[in-house]
């Protein structure tokens, strides 16, 4: 049984690990993977058809804990303990819930002190006692007790009428004063772990299409002191098509991984007469997982030729490899003979589905390329195939639920070449 410390409006954890509000999804998953012998039977719950309509949930079924992540920014928003019989809980080092100590209303009052009168929810038949960043829900035994706890009873002091011995059914840790209005806080400094994260990524345009990326980056910068002296640093960097490998390293730092393309499976679709001639060297990717960005370099010139932006939707083959890239793309809308660039750019939060983009840009001329991903020839992808459409020097990878999984940006075509939808990473 886990023995965890409760920190209101902040975290739930122990000496080895801690789930902190504002923590990215990938870090929470990494904790669970590292301690898989202790924390078992973890479920990932999400809406397959509407992944942005419900929170993304990690359900620790063996321990009665749910971690609720905001569907948009994928940071930890609420920590819920829904079965207190499966876990030990303490506050300021003193247990208020264990096999020997029942979490009664008297125990909660002794451990956490006084607070405002609670609120009775007749629909749920639960009584909610709220502290800042922390709420407890008590189950009423019968409907006959319910009228005693209506808000208008005893001049609003209904919390004084909670039956002695009433025990906590659920506990919530969140940011702010209201569980209903809470939002995922900014990532705490303790979660940066030396990494750089992208607050936003803007696609820069020239007269013909994408020209590069402008990234607004976040990091925890600290001098020759302790973490307590650390502060959030915000800075901007830009990278362009044609930049050298050294240019990108100086702008963004070292990638998390370098991946060399062993073969180009889309070469068969290329119009080049030399498409079947094997290459003597391979193009390579810089994978920036915490930015949600891949950068492809030409093997011969070592210059940028593609950018790949990842949305990290659950239900995609690459889910949880990348952090969500909050990208914005100014889309050129064709109206008659004129081209109009709207003030509201495309982003994962505004134009979420492929249908929305087609309404602005029109339907692609070519049929989509069906993309099958698997770890080996003998394995199948449980999430199914995706479809790739080409528009305005961009390839939109569309999932079966109509959401965008990734966007690949191409540089200006070299003289004598033609960009096709099938030229995929």
Computed over every residue of the chain, the mean pLDDT equals 84
Asked whether residue 167 falls in the same domain as residue 206, the answer is no
pLDDT of 419 strictly over 90: no
- The reported pLDDT for the residue numbered 235 is 94
Asked whether residue 221 falls in the same domain as residue 169, the answer is no
In a domain, 166, yes or no: yes
CA distance 208 to 410: 11
At residue 232 the predicted structure's pLDDT band, cuts being 50, 70 and 90, is: confident
Distance of CA 65 to the CA centre of its chain: 19
At residue 69 the predicted structure's pLDDT band, cuts being 50, 70 and 90, is: very high
At residue 159 the predicted structure's pLDDT band, cuts being 50, 70 and 90, is: very low
Place of tokens 């449980």: 382
Output phi, psi for 190, to 5 deg.
-65, -15
Asked whether residue 260 falls in the same domain as residue 291, the answer is yes
CA distance 381 to 374: 5
Asked whether residue 269 falls in the same domain as residue 168, the answer is no
Please, is 123 exposed, middle or buried when counting C-beta atoms within 10 Å of its C-beta (0-12, 13-18, 19+)?
exposed
CA distance 370 to 386: 6
Q: What proportion of the chain, given as a percentage, has pLDDT over 90?
A: 60
User: Mean of the pLDDT values across residues 171-179?
Assistant: 95
Two tokens at 116? 């405002």
Contacts of 363 (CB under 8 A, 6+ apart): none
- 268, 277 contact by CB (below 8 A): no
Place of tokens 């829900």: 137
Containing structural domain, residue 66 = 2-144+156-174
- The reported pLDDT for the residue numbered 355 is 87
Q: Half-sphere exposure of 144 toward its Cβ, with a 13 Å CA cutoff?
A: 0
CA distance 215 to 387: 27
Q: Which of 49-58, 121-130, 160-169 has the highest mean pLDDT?
A: 49-58
3-state secondary structure of 286: strand
- 304, 248 contact by CB (below 8 A): yes
Two tokens at 71? 């569907």
At residue 209 the predicted structure's pLDDT band, cuts being 50, 70 and 90, is: confident
In a domain, 231, yes or no: yes
Asked whether residue 7 falls in the same domain as residue 77, the answer is yes
Place of tokens 């920190």: 7
In a domain, 349, yes or no: yes
- The reported pLDDT for the residue numbered 96 is 96
pLDDT of 66 strictly over 80: yes
- Model confidence over 347-392: pLDDT tens digits? 654 456 888 888 877 788 788 899 887 766 656 777 888 999 988 8
**Strands of 76-81's sheet, edge to edge?**
42-45, 56-60, 65-69, 76-81, 168-173, 134-139, 126-131, 119-121
In a domain, 110, yes or no: yes
- 207, 218 contact by CB (below 8 A): no
Asked whether residue 212 falls in the same domain as residue 352, the answer is yes
How many domains are there within the chain?
2
Two tokens at 357? 């983009």
User: Mean of the pLDDT values across residues 77-99?
Assistant: 96
In a domain, 419, yes or no: no
- Model confidence over 8-20: pLDDT tens digits? 999 999 999 999 9
CA distance 7 to 273: 65
CA distance 295 to 309: 9
- The reported pLDDT for the residue numbered 255 is 97
Asked whether residue 278 falls in the same domain as residue 364, the answer is yes
Asked whether residue 351 falls in the same domain as residue 296, the answer is yes
Asked whether residue 316 falls in the same domain as residue 383, the answer is yes
Neighbouring-strand partners of residue 198: 217
User: Mean of the pLDDT values across residues 238-252?
Assistant: 96
Asked whether residue 136 falls in the same domain as residue 234, the answer is no
Q: Half-sphere exposure of 228 toward its Cβ, with a 13 Å CA cutoff?
A: 0
Asked whether residue 207 falls in the same domain as residue 164, the answer is no
Asked whether residue 234 falls in the same domain as residue 128, the answer is no
Q: What proportion of the chain, given as a percentage, has pLDDT over 70?
A: 78
- The reported pLDDT for the residue numbered 127 is 85
Two tokens at 238? 């830009």
- CA distance to 166, 247, 372, per residue, from 209 (Å): 64, 21, 28
Please, is 340 exposed, middle or buried when counting C-beta atoms within 10 Å of its C-beta (0-12, 13-18, 19+)?
exposed
pLDDT of 321 strictly over 90: yes
Place of tokens 């620790």: 60
- The reported pLDDT for the residue numbered 114 is 74
User: Mean of the pLDDT values across residues 213-234?
Assistant: 76
In a domain, 369, yes or no: yes
Dihedral sign, CA of 25, 41, 172, 189?
negative
User: Mean of the pLDDT values across residues 171-183?
Assistant: 95
- The reported pLDDT for the residue numbered 420 is 41
- The reported pLDDT for the residue numbered 243 is 96
User: Mean of the pLDDT values across residues 116-139?
Assistant: 85
pLDDT of 421 strictly over 60: no
In a domain, 151, yes or no: no
Place of tokens 């030229």: 423
- The reported pLDDT for the residue numbered 239 is 97
CA distance 406 to 307: 10
User: Mean of the pLDDT values across residues 409-421?
Assistant: 61
In a domain, 211, yes or no: yes
């Amino acid at each position: 049984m886990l023995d965890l410390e409760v920190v209101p409006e902040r975290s739930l954890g122990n000496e080895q690990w801690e789930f902190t509000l504002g923590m990215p999804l990938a870090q929470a998953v990494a904790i669970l993977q590292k301690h898989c012998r202790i924390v078992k039977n973890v479920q990932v719950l999400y809406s397959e058809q509407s992944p942005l309509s419900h929170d993304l949930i990690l359900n620790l079924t063996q321990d009665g804990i749910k971690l609720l992540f905001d569907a948009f920014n994928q940071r930890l928003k609420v920590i819920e303990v829904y079965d207190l019989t499966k876990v030990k809980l303490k506050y300021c080092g003193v247990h208020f819930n264990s096999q020997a100590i029942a979490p009664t209303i008297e125990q909660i009052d002794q451990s956490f002190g006084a607070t405002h009168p609670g609120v009775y929810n007749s629909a749920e038949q639960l009584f909610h006692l709220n502290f800042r960043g922390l709420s407890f829900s008590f189950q009423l035994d019968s409907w006959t007790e319910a009228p005693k706890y209506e808000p208008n009873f005893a001049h609003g002091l209904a919390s004084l009428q909670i039956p002695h011995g009433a025990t906590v059914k659920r506990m919530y840790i969140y940011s702010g004063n209201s569980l209903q209005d809470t939002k995922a806080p900014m990532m705490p400094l303790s979660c940066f772990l030396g990494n750089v994260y992208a607050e936003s990524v803007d696609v820069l345009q020239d007269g013909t299409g994408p020209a590069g990326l402008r990234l607004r980056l976040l990091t925890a910068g600290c001098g020759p002191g302790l973490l307590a002296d650390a502060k959030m640093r915000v800075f901007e960097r830009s990278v362009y098509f044609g930049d050298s490998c050294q240019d990108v390293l100086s702008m963004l730092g070292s990638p998390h991984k370098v991946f060399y393309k062993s073969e180009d499976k889309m070469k068969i679709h290329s119009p080049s007469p030399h498409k079947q001639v094997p290459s003597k060297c391979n193009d390579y990717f810089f994978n920036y997982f915490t930015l949600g960005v891949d950068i492809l370099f030409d093997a011969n010139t070592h210059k940028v030729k593609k950018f790949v932006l990842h949305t990290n939707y659950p239900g995609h083959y690459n889910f949880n490899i990348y952090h969500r890239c909050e990208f914005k793309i100014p889309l050129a809308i064709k109206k008659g003979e004129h081209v109009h660039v709207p003030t509201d750019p495309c982003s994962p939060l505004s134009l979420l589905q492929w249908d929305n983009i087609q309404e602005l840009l029109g339907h692609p001329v070519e049929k989509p390329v069906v993309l099958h991903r698997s770890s080996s020839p003998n394995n199948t992808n449980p999430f199914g195939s995706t479809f790739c459409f080409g528009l305005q020097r961009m390839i939109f990878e569309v999932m079966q639920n109509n959401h965008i999984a990734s966007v690949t940006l191409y540089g200006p075509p070299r003289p004598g070449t033609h960009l096709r939808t099938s030229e995929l990473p």
